[in-house]
């Protein structure tokens, strides 16, 4: 079994890291380059940057942030947000990112997954899925546009299609759990992990070390991503890894 990965997530807006609850009420959490370098030193396995400034200006800012970060860290990092064509992927990878995260653009144009995988390899393509439980269906629905737009697409079906088109990983965010610190969405993570033949990164809801233990053991996630608890020093990456090792979870 592959070692489980711990991944801090940096939501970047106008060159700063921000964090909210249920996708709203953002507050400043620091400089992205400094935070990424800190997490690298602390032993994080990867970093995810999500550019939530949708404008062209935001994209230019993000390219510079990626370039600066690439010079400061040795661990892999994924960049997502506002990437809608293969040329966008190329620019981000050229700036120093290791992987590309795509979400809304992939739902609107699934061929983008195939095109990206063909051009850069599946290992570069991370399909991010924002999912929310739909009581009428009894299962989860995919949302786009930063969690604002319901698609009518079933999450498990979409994830299987993304994998078939060449996605190398799924970054799964539970909108129901996001920012709540009440724990990861175990039923969602378990269902997706069972359905997918590629690694699943669980996101949304981390609040304490127990939550990571549960998402790895019960949820069967390959990696766990968190933001608030790391940025505001509620849990340090080295302490979390020590706790997981002590409980028999293999981490890097």
Task: Give the catalytic positions in this structure.
Answer: 11, 130
Sole residue written with tokens 């737009």: 149
**Count of positions (residues) in the chain:** 252
- How far apart are the C-alpha atoms of 210 and 207, rounded to whole Å? 8
Q: Which of 129, 207, 213 is nearest to 163 (CA)?
A: 129
The one-character DSSP state at 125 is E
Distances in Å between the Cα of 121 and the Cα atoms of 50, 126, 163 are 21, 11, 13
- How far apart are the C-alpha atoms of 163 and 197, rounded to whole Å? 8
Residue 55: helix, strand or coil by DSSP?
Answer: coil
C-alpha atoms less than 13 angstroms from C-alpha of 63 in its C-beta half-sphere = 14
DSSP of 56-70 = HHHHHHHHHHHHHHH
Distances in Å between the Cα of 129 and the Cα atoms of 62, 69, 158, 189 are 21, 25, 9, 11
Return the H-helix or E-strand segment holding 137.
none
Radius of gyration of the chain, Cα coordinates, nearest whole angstrom? 17
């Amino acid at each position: 079994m592959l070692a489980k990965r711990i991944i801090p997530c940096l939501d970047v807006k106008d060159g700063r890291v921000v964090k909210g609850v249920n996708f709203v009420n953002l507050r400043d959490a620091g400089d992205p380059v400094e935070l990424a370098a800190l997490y690298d030193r602390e032993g994080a396995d990867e970093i995810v940057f999500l550019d939530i400034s949708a404008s062209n200006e935001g994209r230019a800012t993000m390219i510079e942030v990626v370039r600066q970060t690439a010079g400061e860290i040795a661990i892999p990092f994924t960049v997502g947000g506002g990437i809608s064509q293969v040329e966008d992927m190329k620019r981000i990878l050229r700036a120093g990112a290791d992987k590309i995260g795509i979400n809304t653009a992939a739902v609107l144009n699934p061929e983008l997954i195939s095109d990206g995988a063909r051009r850069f390899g599946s290992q570069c393509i991370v399909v991010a899925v924002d999912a929310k439980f739909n009581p009428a269906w009894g299962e989860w629905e995919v949302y786009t546009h930063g969690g604002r737009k319901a698609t009518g697409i079933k999450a498990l079906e979409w994830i299987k299609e993304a994998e078939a088109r060449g996605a190398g990983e799924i970054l799964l965010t539970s909108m129901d759990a996001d920012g709540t610190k009440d724990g990861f969405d175990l039923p969602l993570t378990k269902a997706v992990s069972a359905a997918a033949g590629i690694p699943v990164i669980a996101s949304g809801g981390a609040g304490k070390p127990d939550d990571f233990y549960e998402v790895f053991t019960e949820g069967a996630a390959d990696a766990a991503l968190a933001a608030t608890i790391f940025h505001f020093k509620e849990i340090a990456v080295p302490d979390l890894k020590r706790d997981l090792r002590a409980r028999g979870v293999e981490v890097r």
